[in-house]
Structures are given as C-alpha cells and as structure tokens.
Amino acid sequence: MKTKLSVPAYISIASILLFSCNFPYQPKQFVLPKIPSFFIAADSITSFTNSTNVKIAYTLNEGYQYVYFIDFSSATPTPVRLKKPLGKESIPATRPRISPDGTFVVYYLTPGKDLEGAYLQRLDNASTPVLIAANGAEPHWWMDSTGQLYVLYSDQIMSVLSTSLTPNLNATYRQKVSLMGDGSLVGKPEKIAPYAMNGGMSKNGRYLCAGYQNAAFYDLANSVLIPINAGMQTCNPSIDPDTAYPPVMMFLNIEGVQNLNNPFLGNADFPSPQINKHQLIFIVNSANRVVDYVPLTLAVSKFGAYVEWQEPEWSNNPRYSMALGIIDDADADGIIIKNVGDNQTPKELLRITPGKFKLNTTSTPHLWIGK
C-alpha cells in the first residue's frame, strides 16, 4: 500500500543543515591539464562497453566551472569545452546529461544556492546555449512512446518535500524540445508535480524520483509520494532509464543505519547496518527494498584508496552508470560501473582517469553509450 510521505512541512533551503552532497557548490581553483586527453584510451572504453560510440560529459573547474565532453568514437578523442551563456561565464555549470541520441546536453548554472538557468546545448564547441528555464535545476531527458523528446526540470536545487499533496512553493516541469539546429523549445512548460523531483522520470512516464533532505518516488498516476529511506538524508538520486514497473532509484547514503528493507546485510562487502557517508551506491525499488548496491571497497580494491563515492548517475544504458571515486579535497577518478542494477552478475569497474591528471570532486560525469 502506498502512503503519503510524512516529513516536516516545507522549509526553505537556507534554513536547513544537510550533510555534503556537493552543495552548496563552492568550487576550488583548478588548472586544466594540457591537451591531449588525460582519459583512458578509446579501445579500453570500447572493450568495456561493447560499443565504439561512447561519449562522456563532465565539468571542470578552471577558476570557473565549464561543461566539457569527450567523444571516444572520434579519430583522436579530445576534451571539448562548451561555451557558456553570454554574460554568465563566471557562474559554475553543473550536472551535464547527454541526450538519448548523443548529440546534445542539458545542464544548469548555480553559484551555490541560487539558480541561474537550465540550458540545452549541442555537443559542439561552436554551439550556442538555449535557455530552458531561468529558474531551472537538475534537468533530465525523457522521451515518450512516440519518440517526442522532453526536458524535465525542477525549480529547487535540493529537494525539500512537504507533508501534503497540495501545491507548494516548488514544482517539477516538463518542457517539449526540438534538437534541430542549435535546439529550441516547443510550446510552454507543463507542471507535472507539486514537488521538486530532481532525479528524473521512469521510462514509462509514471514515476519521478527525488533525494536530499528526503527521498521519494512520486506516482503521477495516483498523485502520491512514496517515501524511501524515511528519516535519512540521501544524495544524487537517479532513476533507472529502463524502469517500467516498479521504479528503481539509485542514490548515495549519509552515515548511520539506513531505513531500508535490505536483504544484503551480512554480505562480506556489506557486513554492518552502520555505514559511513557515501560508502555505498544504493539501488532501491518503490517497496523500499534494496535490489542492488555498489560498495566503495570494490573500487578501493581495484584502484587504490578513495574516501567516498560522489555523483553517481545512470547512463542511458540501464546496465551502466558512472560515479566519482573521491581521492582528496581536490581530485577524483571517473569510474564507469558495469552490471549495475543486476545483483546476479558481478560488478565490473573501469577507471577512465588512470594517470596523474584527475577530475574534480564536483565534475558530475555522465556516460552515454550508443549502438
């Protein structure tokens, strides 16, 4: 039986204290390493993903945080920096996500707590950003059963869910878009939920998900919130792009005993219900049941010391995701995770930054795998 989420009434972002999920965003100084790329060779990506058509979008802080992408199908894969909106070059860009066809990216600008716009942009160093919404945050792609493409976004950086289903100060919107030329909006945005659901929508269009102060699915068919890990903060929510029914959500934990139905307690790599912050990437269904997880110890045993996971995000391919293995306050490795969501098949990991130069701790990478 689905129940409405019982959490404190809406509280403004400025008045709550949350553990770090890379917010508020305060970028550290970073100097971009010289081209050629510091990423792993393209043939390693091809072998790992079984695809010769792979792209990764991410951000780098060069004093100001920019969106980059690298196309591993090109003759010489080289990082490409996208132009920022005119007059907003100094505002950090974050959370790029590549379109289903691999030609565009969405992202948003924020100096830490304020919203400076969600944007649509072709993956081309000469492309012009297209404003989706001046108050847009956490944009995600979604395609309906006819192939029509939309961008979903909320109007709040960190989701603070209220106790009732009456409209509150925040919401989630769906904007139809065209990818012709430099891209454009089609019609006006549609409000689809009276909450800031910041983790995307299931493939069948029925469920949204959210995390941060509280985690939940939102069932659009029944206008009901389904609480997940109640009473515990979560970070970086992301919904499975292949979900039909029931939905499955990926997120990071905050330290403590999680309020989850967890059949994996007692596993060698999950020995205790008491866990430290961002040590596990959880995958949980709408019954609040853990269906899979990725322990940080798996990355540590393969690549060396990491202090935590950050920024996990599902790929367009439902059996792959990407996350950051945090090395220290400044540096992180980009790590592709294979067989995610499949607890019957051992996880495989690929570190895409194996050398001296690394990503930032706030690089928010997204993996796209073409056919």
In a structure prediction context, what are the per-residue pLDDT tens digits for the chain, which is 371 residues long? 444 444 433 333 334 345 567 754 455 544 444 444 689 999 999 999 999 999 999 999 988 999 999 999 999 999 999 999 999 999 999 999 999 999 999 999 998 778 999 999 999 999 999 999 999 999 999 999 999 999 999 998 876 665 444 456 789 999 999 999 999 999 999 999 999 999 999 999 999 999 988 899 999 999 999 999 998 999 999 999 986 567 899 999 999 999 999 999 999 999 888 999 999 999 999 999 999 999 999 999 999 999 999 999 999 999 999 999 999 999 999 999 999 999 999 999 999 999 988 999 999 999 999 98
Q: Which domains, from first to last, does the chain contain? A: 18-369 (2.120.10.30)
Query: Which residue type does 195 have?
Result: Y
**pTM attached to this predicted model:** 0.90
Q: What angle do CA 25, 192, 316 make, to 5 degrees?
A: 60
Contacts of 17 (CB under 8 A, 6+ apart): none
